[in-house]
Structure 1
Amino acid sequence: MDPLLLGYLVVFSTAAIVCFGGLTRISRVDDRDTRVGLAALLATSGLWAVLHVGFLAAPTPSAQYGFFVAGLVVGLSTVGPWLYFCSAYTGRSYHRNRTLRRLAVGIYLSIVSIKVTNPLHGWYFVAQPATSPFPYLQIHHEPLHWIVMGLAYSLAFVGFFMLFELFDGVDFDTTALLGIAGLTGLPVFLDVIGATTPYLLDITYSALGVSAFTIGVLYVYFDRFQTIRLAGDVDDPVIVLDHEDHVRDFNRSARDRFPTLDTAAESPFEEALPTVADALRSPDDHLTIAVDGETRYYSVSENPFTAVGERLGRAITLSDVTETVRYRHELERQNARLERFASVVSHDLRNPLNVAQGRVDLAMESDRNNEHLVTTKRALDRMEALIEDILRLARLGRPIDATEPVRVPDLVTESWGMVETNDASLAIADGFDLTVVADPERLRQLVENLFRNAVEHGGSGVTVSVGALDGGGGFYVADDGPGIPEEEHADVFEFGYTTTSEGTGFGLAIVEEVVNAHGWSIRVTEADGGGARFEIRTS
């Protein structure tokens, strides 16, 4: 056998073996879509290399012709798996787009139909036996072939672009993977040399690039290949562990935070980074690290990766939660100040107020009609109401910690019984049945304050109605009193806003605080009868 022919056969046979051999390791890739795309790429590329071997080794021109046409069909099919793999690996969704997939299949079948019918029209290539450099079927490509090749290479380079963009954006050292991707595209130059010079056969060498890619990502640099897909463009520190919890890889951010990682390769995680391991076991605790003289807080989480039921390892990610922790600490300090304020109001102001009220009550027992005493008692009662509202506001400043399902009609009925309603009446809409997830005590404060507002401003015999909003998602509290002028709708929730001398101006402000604390919304509008209507939207 001609040595040069033997060399070609060995090269393409090796490429086929490498591609098919890679299928035995494909199960280690944890992402299903990436695994499917890569498996299809290896299978089609391996088959393409086998068909090249058949083309070169077939004993007759007709057999060579058949192998060549089959190679054209299979070779074109490798573009789809390549783009599928690149899209999945880089975290894109093009491979799931049904429109793109249908379009790709349509274009592929159209081109294949031209290739397989070439004996009828000769638009794609012309074949004739040749004797140099060894006996084989020489192919002369027609312009249509170069158009299809241009389309195929353009699509292939779209995949390369996706890979290079990912490698350029991650925080890992991707030099090796960039080199592997470059080797994958190197056969393009072999194709050009084969088409324009006598130094190589004019056949397609892409299967060689895929075999190089297979060796690189599935055998030599698999850990880095897997890590980049898992970590993506995450800027936070990432440490990758193998199935035995030994340190296998890490990004630049992790190296900057933990310089000892440079000497910790293959070391047990517990020994290499004991503080991180401790934080991972206590998810409620944050890892504290000094960065450039500043204390930073990190939340430690893990992302296990498995393939076909086998645990391959896990990625440890440190998410910077410094701003969140600082905000929480500030809230805790504010709550402590509010607690101290409430304590001062409750004791230091209430005690002398109670003494004054007691003295006035004693004095009024013997002189009940004394105008000065009556005015003083009214002022003291107003001060007591102010203190109660201030205490409510102070307590409302605390975040809501616990919520539960609350049936609104039941709470409305209970709240009505807690308010001095005089001769006012309550009307609950027929069929009103709403349950919300809320802090029951604060929701009760909201409803009671709306009731007090209606009774105080609605006049004698006011009727307060409660029901569901049209379309659901909340409830309303309305009255048939004089209502609120439209130009004042934006002011009624302001602290201290009141239209009566007896009001404190805090009632509706408290209502809005409760609404906001639950993440709801409230608006005031005009009721059907001309009174005020407050609409609370809970979803």
Structure 2
Amino acid sequence: MQIKPVAVAYVGAFGITGLACLLAITRARDVDARDVRHGLVGLLGTTSVWALLKVVYFVVPDPFRGPAYTVGLVFGFATVWAWLYFCSAYTGRSYHRDRTLRLLGAGVFAGVVAVKLTNPYHGLYFETTVRTTPFNYLAIEHGIFHWTVTGLSYILAGIGIFMLFELYHNSGYNTRPLGLLTLLLALPVSLDIAAFLSERFIEVIYAPLGVAAFVLGTLFVYERRFLAVQSAGDDDDAVIFLDENGHIRDYTPAARDFFPELVDATGEPLESVLPRVAEMIDREEQTLEYEIDGETRYLLTSTSSVTLGDSQGEVLLFSDITTAEQRRRELKRHNEQLEGFASALAHELRNMLQIIEWRLGIAKDRTGDGTVEHESVEKALEANQRLTARVDDFTTLAKYGQTVERLESVEFETAVQDAWWNAETGEMDLVIERGGTIDCDPGRLRELLVNVFVFNRLNGAETVTVELLDTGFAVAGDGEAPGEDVDGYLAFGESVPTAEAGMKLPNAKTFARVHGWEIDIDTEYQRGVRVLVSDARTDVTDQALEVRTD
């Protein structure tokens, strides 16, 4: 039998398309963004099978042609959903993760596949006839169900194309090459129309050719631009794209506005064009102070590595945080001024209280024991001592009461013992049952524990037990059990359980809150007062730990 060149052309076009998509899966699997990678692999996989089944449709004899075409239609419709998944992930949307949309899509897909697979029984999707022009093949005469599903497919594909062009527009990059590649998706439609109007073309659905041209073009020809646009996101941010050697490959208009030095700098090393930026990245700093048009601006810098096959690079994202940074620095200056004022005031108050204590001591020595005067002076001395302790508390709160900006991981056992030696614990014993690490500000954690330890001493405890928990820690003392007014233990001004002890747990609550932690009284614990601190990040050792300090 003579093989016509046009038949070879059809088989060759779809065969090459299928094999190329199959081989390109390896490259697509190197894309860093997980969801984009999954979308590309799914798109290449379904397109590859779809195209290769068309080859099977052309070359195998009856009765296998019809089933091959039908299964190809199933994979063709699956390609539409893989396309939508990719477009949603690539443009930064979350449609592909929406459970309702996924279930709806699965339902539509299952219904259409059922109609396609049962076509031999109802014949409403397509019928077959043998034709000899332009070569001998099994012609497909599509029915109303086919055109309905085709219309739905084009609508869904158009939604994906719209998402891509919106991203191209917002990215600020020169996306003309990517736009032209995206338009290739629509070219097979013209072949479908030509096949419907003329017998010179076969009605076989040419969409795999357009999908392959787009995906292969983005992965192999314009892969850097493809990755840069996806990483850039909104054009309000300044983005610089570097290659594996640290040379500038591209940038957004916003980046050019921030850094005029970028003009005509494509291909140049970043360190020679923007040395301060390169130095900051090497030092792993995040905030860049930069002079732009005679005005000091602050840019938050983030970096991310991107890999695609042999192409590696780095994306630098700059966000203008000038207003927020100026407010932060102004707030920092105010806090430093308040700390200085509080320190000076505390120093003055201590001096005055020391003078009062000295004078009251003299008065006490000159009054007889058992007299009203002597008892009054003793009460005044006690009040003066409590006031001195309050001044110390307020000074500590002024120093450590601001929200923690940076946490560090510390050994919990070491932190507890450090606080224990810095607290007035009297004759109490310390037991540490479980240790590990906790993310905290060491100074503020020490003050929190000191206040809880002192509270337990004032509450009549003989032993304090500390335990690191999965989401925080607990400090339990065997002193007086709490009464009904549990909330009063943590409130300023309540003087619970006594006036002397009443400031300690509210202080501890302040030091917990600046970490973002919660602090509560364990109401089920009746052998004393057990303080629970939660919402902390800890790493508890599996091995039981018991450390006693007498």
Letter in 2 for 1:511: A
Alpha-carbon shift at residue 64 of structure 1 (Å): 7.7
Shift of 1:206: 1.0
Distance 2:482 2:142 in 1: 91
Q: Are 1:527 and 1:533, in contact at CA under 8 Å, matched by a contact in 2?
A: no
Match of 2:387 in 1: 386
Tell me which residue corresponds to 1:537.
533
Structure 2 counterpart of 1:513:
510
Letter in 2 for 1:447: V
SS for the counterpart of 1:255 is: helix
Give, in whole Å, the separation in 2 of the partners of 1:504 and 1:343: 23
The answer on whether the counterparts of 1:522 and 1:534 sit within 8 Å (CA) in structure 2 is: no
- Provide the rounded CA distance (Å) in 2 between the counterparts of 1:470 and 1:298: 39
Cα deviations by residue, 1:227-254 (Å, 9 ceiling, x for unpaired):
2333445853221112222212223332
C-alpha distance in structure 1 between counterparts of 2:360 and 2:56, whole Å = 113
Question: What is the CA-CA distance between 1:265 and the residue it aligns to?
Answer: 1.8
Note closer, same or farther for the CA distance 1:130–1:404 as it changes in structure 2 (3 Å cut).
closer
**1:354 corresponding residue in structure 2:** 354
Q: What are the superposed Cα offsets for residues 80-138 of structure 1, whole Å, 9 maximum, x if unpaired?
A: 345335424425584898978986885686456436xx3x7655433334455665544
Q: TM-score, structure 2 length as denominator? A: 0.73
- In structure 1, the residue matched to 2:81 is 83
2:525 aligned with 1:522: no
Alignment-derived partner of residue 304 in structure 2: 303
2:219 maps to what in 1?
218
Counterpart check, 1:446 vs 2:444: no
The runs of 5 or more residues in structure 1 that have no matched partner are 456-461
Whole-Å separation in 1 of the counterparts to 2:40 and 2:500: 73
> C-alpha separation between the residues in 1 aligned to 2:376 and 2:161?
86
The offset of 1:526, in angstroms, is 7.0
Q: 317-326 or 199-208, which moves further after superposition? A: 317-326
Structure 2 counterparts to residues 71-220 of structure 1, below 5 A = 71-84=69-82, 86-88=84-86, 89-90=89-90, 92=94, 94=96, 110=114, 113-114=117-118, 118=120, 122-132=123-133, 136-150=137-151, 152-157=153-158, 159-160=160-161, 162-164=163-165, 166-167=167-168, 170-196=171-197, 200-214=201-215, 216-220=217-221
Closer, same or farther in 2 for the Cα pair 1:82/1:35, shift >3 Å? Answer: farther
Distance 1:316 1:228 in 2: 12
Counterpart of 1:272 in structure 2: which amino acid?
V
- Give 3-state SS (helix, strand or coil) of 1:263's partner: coil
Higher gyration radius (CA): 1
Q: What is residue 236 of structure 1 aligned with on the other side?
A: 237
Structure-2 change in CA distance of 1:182 and 1:334 (3 Å): same
Q: TM-score, normalised by structure 1?
A: 0.74
Counterpart CA distance in 1 for 2:323 and 2:337 is 21
Pair 533,78 (structure 1): closer, same or farther in 2 beyond 3 Å: same
Q: Structure 2 vs 1, CA of residues 277 and 304 (structure 1 numbering), >3 Å: closer, same or farther?
A: same
Letter in 2 for 1:298: L
After TM superposition, give the deviation of residue 277 of structure 1 in Å. Answer: 0.9
Give the whole-Å Cα distance in 2 for the aligned partners of 1:391 and 1:416: 14
CA displacement, residues 287-331 of structure 1 (integer Å, 9 cap, x when unaligned): 1135687643223332122246x4511112224454664465346
* Cα distance in 2 for residues equivalent to 1:396 and 1:77: 67
SS in 1 for 2:511: helix
Contact 1:300 1:317 in 2 (8 A): yes
Q: Per-residue displacement from partner, 1:157-203 (whole Å, max 9, x unpaired)?
A: 45445545544554545454344323303423432443356674433
1:255 and 2:256 correspond? yes
AA aligned to 1:445 is V
What residue ranges of structure 2 are gaps of 5+ in the alignment?
536-550
Instruction: State the match for 1:17 in structure 2.
Output: 16
Instruction: Give SS of 1:447's match.
Output: helix
CA contact (8 A) 1:128 1:139 kept: yes
Q: 1:133 to 1:19 in 2, by over 3 A?
A: closer
Q: 1:450 to 1:484 in 2, by over 3 A?
A: farther
Between Structure 1 and Structure 2, how many residues are aligned?
513
